Each structure stands twice: as C-alpha cells, then as structure tokens.
A and B are shown apart, each in its own frame.
Chain A
Amino acid sequence: MSIEVRDVVKRFGSFTALRGVSLAIPSGALVAFLGPSGSGKTTLLRIIAGLEAPDRGEVLFAGKNATDQRVQDRRVGFVFQHYALFRHMTVFENVAFGLRVRPRSERPPEAEIRRRVGELLKLVQLEGLGGRYPAQLSGGQRQRVALARALAIEPRVLLLDEPFGALDAKVRQELRRWLRRLHDELEITTVVVTHDQEEALEVADLVVVMNEGRIEQVGTPEEVYDRPVSPFVYHFLGSVNLFHGRLDRGVLRVGPLELAAPEHADAQDAPGTGYARPHDLVVERQPPEGTGLPAIVRNIHVVGPSVRLELWRRDTGEPVEAELSKDSFRELAIREGELVFVRPRNLRVFREAAPPSRAVTV
C-alpha cells in the first residue's frame, strides 16, 4: 500500500522535529529514512504509524487520509528499536497478542491462532522457541520475534525503527539481508529508519536522506551516493574531499586548477567549494603543467582490494583522501613522504555554504 506524507510539521516544546516534510512512498517499496540523530526520521516514522500526531499536515494510506485514524485502526506493523516485547509473555503469546485482542467477532478460533503463530515463528526461523520468555533470547532472536509479532496482524505497511541498531556487526548484516529477502517475499510496503548509511544503501530501494527536520534528498541508493544534491548528503554518505576556491562564470579555480562547473555559469567571482569522493581523485606523479594540486603522501593503507592514501596539500596544508585500485597504486609505485599531484575526475560544485568542518569526513 502506498504512503503519502504532506507538509508535516511536528514540534516538541521548543524543538522542531519536522519542518514541513512531504514524501510519497510507492506501494511495495522498501524505503530507508537515513539521517543523523535529531534529524526527525524516527518522528516521521512514528507519525506514519499514528504513535505521534502531527501539528500540521496529513498522512495518506493508499490515497485515503489517515491523519485522524488511531494507531489501533491503522494496521501498521511497528518494530521498535528496543523490540518492546511483552516481557511477561512467552514468545508464542507475544506473537499471538495482535490476534487475541481483536474484537470477539473478528477473533480467530484458538486452533487458527496456534496455526498462524506457528507459521510466523517458522517464517522468522524461531520454531521450537515459542515457550521461551524474551529475556531468554539473544538480541537477534528478539528482533525476529518483534517482526513476527508485527506481521501477525497482517499489516498494510511495516515500519521498523533502527531495527538492527543494538546488534553486533555480523548479526546485523545477516538480518538485513534476511529482511530484504522477506520483504521481496511478502511484497509489503516497508520503511526502515537507520543512521547507518551502509545499511540504507544495501537494503533499500529508495533512500530518504533527512537532516534537521527536512528531507535533503530522495533517490535510489546509486543516486544519493553518486549524485548528492547538497553538501550535507555528500558528507553524510561516505567520505568526501572539499576543494575551496573561487567560482567565476562556470569555472571553479582551486590553486592552479580550473574545474568546470557549468551549473554555476552565472557566478561572478564568488566563493565556491568542489566536492569529490576519494575514488574520484586522480593521483599522478608528473602531470601536464597546471592540472594537479601538489600533495605529500602521509599514509598508505591497503584495505582489501583498494588502497587509501592520506595526502597533505602542499599549498594549503589541507588533508585529502584518495582511493586507488591496487593495480594503479602499483603502477604509480609511490611511498610515504613523496610528492604527487591530485585532481578530481568527477566533482560537484556548491556555492559557499559548506560547514567549515574538517575536509575529510566519514
């Protein structure tokens, strides 16, 4: 079922969590809300679920206004960050809860409840653990009980708040691949809130990048990673190098470099910053005159199939991070302390608005 959010505003006291957010989620998609803490992603999820009421704006399910619908009536499967399993109930009773609280006329008979819970426990690979209490399970198992419990009500949408946040790295990776397969099997519209960019890029069809109560960018994982629309998205999704310079009639001048920035053809000698990912940098020993920034190699890290270089720009002293394939690194045959020249192969220029933080962020 499709979800639409229109111009939603939410304040908590003097803190504005959402500043007019609009978003359309197509039916059957797996969407990730990605952002730092305090960006409003969890608030948006809770408003979609009906656990929080927006101060302004609307939430539509399948085109119908659901803003005033109570959470009980929305039929959303919500998985809480800390699972929120009922601690005094067994795994079986946790999963059966949504069926047992239905009005008598809609409640399935006991045998049917047993069958359904059994099926769900099988689906989340927890057969045979129905008699345990939540405290007797591992984190990953609790997570799957929470998911089975949410699925028991045959939800129209599935909402997960930082579902893998409290798990260790390996379990996390397994679970998110498993969630992806499960989603493809059930074809239910799913929203996952996460602050982990890797998680969002790996699991989602659509990534919604949020910052300070606003949506910065909506796009496929490739789009948001390769074509960020703002400095924030660049910073938040992976490492990036900043090249500060002067922007004049479609050209960014950084030291001796002249870099094309055709989208800023109207700029008149304004400050501008070029953003380039580490793997979009070209590192050379002896480039043609005026086509590279001189830099000193400070550190070389070989990370699996690629090589990460920590460089110092000789003209400004700013750090630059470059990533090469092992082959091109071998061709260059550089060592720490040597002089090289770098230039961005692929660059996006924004007019001066970048946060004055470190040049390389992760």
Chain B
Amino acid sequence: MPAQPSPLRPPAAPVRPSPLGEPPLVRWALIAGALLFLGLFLVVPVAVVFATALSKGLAAYWGAIRDPEALHAIGLTLKVAAIVVPLNALFGLAAAWAIARFDFRGKSLLITLIDLPFAVSPVISGLIFVLLFGSHGLLGPWLLSRGVKVIFAVPGIVLATLFVTLPFVARELIPLMESQGSEEEEAAASLGASGWQTFFRVTLPNVRWGLLYGVILCNARAMGEFGAVSVVSGHIRGATNTLPLHVEILYNEYNFTSAFAVASLLTVLALVTLVAKALVEWRAQHHDLSGER
C-alpha cells in the first residue's frame, strides 16, 4: 500500500454498529438474564452454604470439622482419591494410547465401554458392585470365605469410585492424541529412542496439559461422588463414611450447621478445582501461542 493518503479518501466515517450486532437493549437484557440465572443457581447456593456453616460462629464451624467422625470421613475421602486418581490416570493414558495409535478389533466397543460410566446412573453402578461382591452376590461368598470384605467396606468404595470416574482422563486424552498423530513418536524411534524414552520424552510431554486437566476433573468427581458410594458403603460412621455421605448423615439428623460446615469443604474443593482447571486451560493455550503449537 502507498504510504501517502489518497486525496480521494472520504472524511472519517461515523462509527457504524457491527452488521452482526444486536441493539443495546437486547444485549443488556441478555446479559442481565444470564447474570440473574447464574446468581440464582450458583452464587446464592454457594453463599448459603458458607452462611449456614458459619451461622453459629467460627468455633462451631471448627468443632464440626474437627469432630473425629468428620476427620475420619475427610481421611477416607482423601485415601480413596489417592488410590483412584493415579489408577484412572494410568488407565486413561493406556486406553487413549491404544485407541489413538492402533487399529484393532473391538476398538469402537472399547470407546463405548469407556463412556459407559457416564451413561449409567451412579446408583446403578453401585448396585452392580453389590450384585457382584455382596454376601449373596456372584463373587462375594467366595471372597468372604477368604476373609475379604468388599461391600460395606473400603474396597467397595474404591471400586465404585474407580468405575464412576473411569472416563475422565481417557476422554480428555483420546481426541488429543488422535489429533497429534504418531509421527513424532516415529521420529523419536528413528533417532534411536527406546519405547520408554519415546514415552517419557515425547508422548507424555505432548499430552501433559490434557492429562493434568483430566486428573483434576477425575479428582473432583472422586471426592464428590455420592450415589455409587452410598450404595456400597453401608454408612458405617467412622469406618465407611466419605465426606458426601457424612454431610448427608448430619443433614438427616437435623444437624444443619455441621452438615453445611462439612459441605463447605467440598464447596472449597469445587472452587479450587475450577480455578485449577482455568489455570491449566490458560497455560495450555498460552503454550499453544508461544511455541508449543
């Protein structure tokens, strides 16, 4: 383009509204509607949780949380998450790798099976394990005779949580790995890298943000799962109660302040998860722009 302005150029045009824009009134109405909805269904409930939890003062709040049964529930929830999340991360990586890299019979069946826990109601998921491992179930009597208790015990909770949270990591990684293709791995092999070297130096770094994202979602669900765990746990206080179950028990006993105090922990977990998720998304995108494509 020539640098000097053309003498025929018209005077500065008035600012025109974008041809695809809406009139201001419509825009404001839409924004107000969205904010009202968000406020009513998200902000108010969260505020109520904290308000009720703190309604009898900080001392009562701490008392509810430091109650031995509550502490045990927190411990169990953390323990279950600590077992379930790494296992599902491993499974998700392995499944995504198999699905994205290889063609085999039953591949679409495997993809469907991975989605199954999303399609089935969590209560049904719990029932499946009761039918399998309960005292009248398929494998239950055999295991019980060998002293292994699954249902109404921690192993059942772990199994049910494992099942419910199975899709998160795999679902996140399959499209990512499919879009990245296997050329970089082939390049690594042609440069002499062994299978493990290729995995740790090329495959894993390429999916690390997707993996982290999946792990965060998986963790949130593992800690917050109610339905499936409720069926298999038996609600034994101080033994098989996770945080969500503990909240329910307190609530059913009309112990609202304590119920909301414990619930506030789960709410904090949810908020932390949201922030972490946003950070990971931002980080992944930032990397996309600054050089990691």
Contacts and interface: CB of A to CB of B under 8 A. Distances in A.
B113 interface: no
A162 to B, nearest CB: 13
Nearest to B184: A84
Interface residues of B, number: 22
A133 interface: yes
A153 B192 contact: yes
B22 interface: no
Q: What does DSSP make chain B's interface, helix, strand, loop or mixed?
A: helix
B290 A87 contact: no
Contact of A72 (B193, B290, B291): B193
B202 interface: yes
A98 interface: yes
Contact of B184 (A74, A78, A87, A102): A87
Interface in A117-157: 132-136, 149-150, 152-153
* Cβ-closest 3 pairs across A and B: A133-B291, A98-B191, A84-B183
Contacts of B190: 49-51, 71-72, 74, 76-78, 150
Contacts of B201: 86, 97, 101
Nearest to B293: A135
21 contacts: A51-B186, A72-B189, A72-B192, A77-B190, A80-B186, A84-B187, A85-B184, A88-B206, A97-B191, A97-B193, A101-B191, A133-B293, A134-B291, A135-B288, A135-B291, A135-B292, A149-B187, A149-B191, A150-B191, A152-B191, A153-B191
A334 B147 CA distance: 104
Contacts of A133: 290-293
Interface in A55-102: 70-78, 80, 82, 84-88, 97-98, 101-102
B207 to A, nearest CB: 10
Nearest to B190: A78
A55 B231 CA distance: 53
Contacts of A70: 189
Nearest to A88: B205
B206 A87 contact: yes
Contacts of A71: 186, 189-190
A88 B204 CA distance: 10
Given A87-B292, A133-B292, A135-B291, 20 more contacts: A71-B189, A74-B190, A78-B187, A80-B187, A84-B184, A86-B188, A87-B184, A88-B287, A97-B188, A97-B193, A98-B191, A101-B193, A101-B197, A132-B291, A133-B290, A133-B291, A135-B292, A135-B293, A149-B191, A150-B191
Nearest to B197: A101
A42 B190 CA distance: 16
A107 to B, nearest CB: 11
A147 B250 CA distance: 67
Interface residues of A, number: 32
Interface in B163-209: 183-184, 186-194, 197, 201-202, 205-206
A97 B288 CA distance: 22
B189 A82 contact: no
A71 B205 CA distance: 22
A88 B206 CA distance: 7
B183 A80 contact: yes
A102 B186 CA distance: 16
A74 B192 CA distance: 8
B293 A87 contact: yes
A152 B293 CA distance: 24
Most B-side CB within 10 Å, residue of A101, A134, A153: A101
B65 to A, nearest CB: 42
A80 B193 CA distance: 16
Given A84-B184, A101-B201, A134 B293 contact: yes
A72 B186 contact: no
Nearest to A98: B191
Contacts of A78: 186-187, 190
B188 A101 contact: yes
Contacts of A135: 288, 290-293
A336 B186 CA distance: 56
Nearest to B204: A88
A68 B287 CA distance: 40
A180 B78 CA distance: 62
Most B-side CB within 10 Å, residue of A49, A50, A71, A152: A71
A80 B187 CA distance: 8
B266 to A, nearest CB: 35
Contacts of A150: 190-191
Contacts of A85: 184, 187
